[in-house]
Amino acid sequence: MNCIVISLKKNFFTILFLLFTTSLILFSSSNLEAAKSGLILWSSSVLPSLFPFFIATELLYRTNFVNILGKFLTKFMRPIFNVPGESAICLILGTLSGYPMGAKLACNLKESQVCSKYEAERLLAFTNNSGPLFILGTVGASMFYSKEIGFLLLSTHLLAALTVGFLFRNWKKNKDDISKRFLEYSRKSENITFSNLGEILGESIKSSINLIMTIGGFIVLFSVIISICNHLNIFENLSNVFCYLGIPKDILTPIFSGILEITNGLKLSSSLQVKNLSINIIVSAIILGFGGISVMLQVYSVIAKHGLSIKPYIYGKCLQAIIAGFYTFIALQAFPIFTYAL
């Protein structure tokens, strides 16, 4: 028996990928449609909305904008989040651009020695969030057909992220190397001139292409995985199990889907046929807060080469999901305009 257990641990990914390849063959027709849907979603929504932001962020990072933020925001970032003022660029541009720009900028700050390893890990916990274009446009306007709901979800999403940042302010604080503290570090900004503008622009575009292509690959992959799970009735069976705990089955299906991939989960939660719309909104807030395993792997692919741990991101996102759901519930109680019957 011990030999079997050891063998399963050693060959877990081999077995998993073999099952995945077999499922691709068995459900080839539906998987093809799922891949097409994921590709369309990426090309029609993600690519045009995020790619320009990625280029602009890369260019902005190469200027003295980081230093300017550090001078003005150190008194805000250090006491509240225990990170340098320069790291505000992760929070601002990471939030505006969406996943996984916050993680990429945190890695850039670490490599530039603007922040330490553990300060970068604190940033991972709360600076990777869904962008306002996605929440207001895709979720609010397209899924719920309501700008007000979009603003509500965006507000609770960002408040939850800031709360997580405050709670993680002491992450690995006792392990920070004081001798290598970078409080007085002055980052040398790029001297961008007309002579090197073309080179810097080209490098920014190449970096942005690599990032947006990675995101597209994850979207297509997880669209296929969700299709396979639907064929195997995995979500259905999981919902049946949790139903015994008194949780409505209709709520569980979008949550399980959202755990894998955020967009598909939000699409299901917005179309829930329940008595009050507030349930749909709370479920959507939880899914937005967590972000999904797909986004988690995108972040992991970004930080893997920089020696940062994925643990603070995972803990932070689980906590943000709970807090976002709670904040949304409180907001709905205070403003019952969203609780009307469907």
- Give the type of residue at 143: M
Q: Is residue 56 part of a domain?
A: yes
Q: Is residue 47 part of a domain?
A: yes
Q: What is the pLDDT of residues 130-186, one digit of tens each?
A: 888 888 888 888 888 888 889 999 999 999 999 999 999 888 776 655 434 444 444
Domain assignment of residue 203, given as a range: 22-180+190-339
Angle between helical axes of 277-290 and 262-270 (0-180°, round to 10): 170
Residue 40 has pLDDT above 80, yes or no: yes
Q: Is residue 185 part of a domain?
A: no
* Token code pair at residue 13: 């990914």
Residue 340 has pLDDT above 70, yes or no: no
Q: Is residue 17 part of a domain?
A: no
Cβ contact 259:265 at 8 Å: yes
**Number of continuous H segments (helices) and E segments (strands) in the chain:** 17, 0
Q: Say how far apart CA 168 and CA 49 lie, in whole Å.
A: 30
Judged by average pLDDT, the poorest of 4-8, 52-56, 81-85 is: 4-8
Contacts of 138 (CB under 8 A, 6+ apart): 45, 263, 266
At 328 the pLDDT is 93
Q: Is residue 10 part of a domain?
A: no
At 176 the pLDDT is 59
Q: Is residue 130 part of a domain?
A: yes
At 23 the pLDDT is 87
In terms of Cβ atoms closer than 10 Å to its own Cβ (0-12, 13-18, 19+), residue 254 is buried
Peptide bond preceding 79: is omega within 30 degrees of 0, i.e. cis? Answer: no
Q: Mean pLDDT in the chain? A: 81
Which candidate, 58, 135, 59, places its Cα nearest to that of 95? 135
At 2 the pLDDT is 54
Judged by average pLDDT, the poorest of 26-30, 107-111, 268-272 is: 268-272
* DSSP codes, 56-120: HHHHHHTTTHHHHHHHHHHHHHHHHHSS-GGGHHHHHHHHHH-TTHHHHHHHHHHHTTSS-HHHH
Number of domains present in the structure of the chain: 1
At 245 the pLDDT is 66
Q: pLDDT-derived band of residue 187, with 50, 70 and 90 as boundaries? A: very low
For 43, half-sphere exposure in the C-beta direction (CA atoms, 13 angstrom radius) is: 7
Q: Is residue 43 part of a domain?
A: yes
Provide mean pLDDT across the span 195-199: 77
In terms of Cβ atoms closer than 10 Å to its own Cβ (0-12, 13-18, 19+), residue 188 is exposed
Cβ contact 290:259 at 8 Å: yes
Q: Is residue 330 part of a domain?
A: yes
Q: What is the pLDDT of residues 272-285, one digit of tens each?
A: 766 566 888 999 99
* Token code pair at residue 227: 């299709």
Q: What is the pLDDT of residues 46-78, one digit of tens each?
A: 787 778 878 887 787 777 777 777 777 878 888
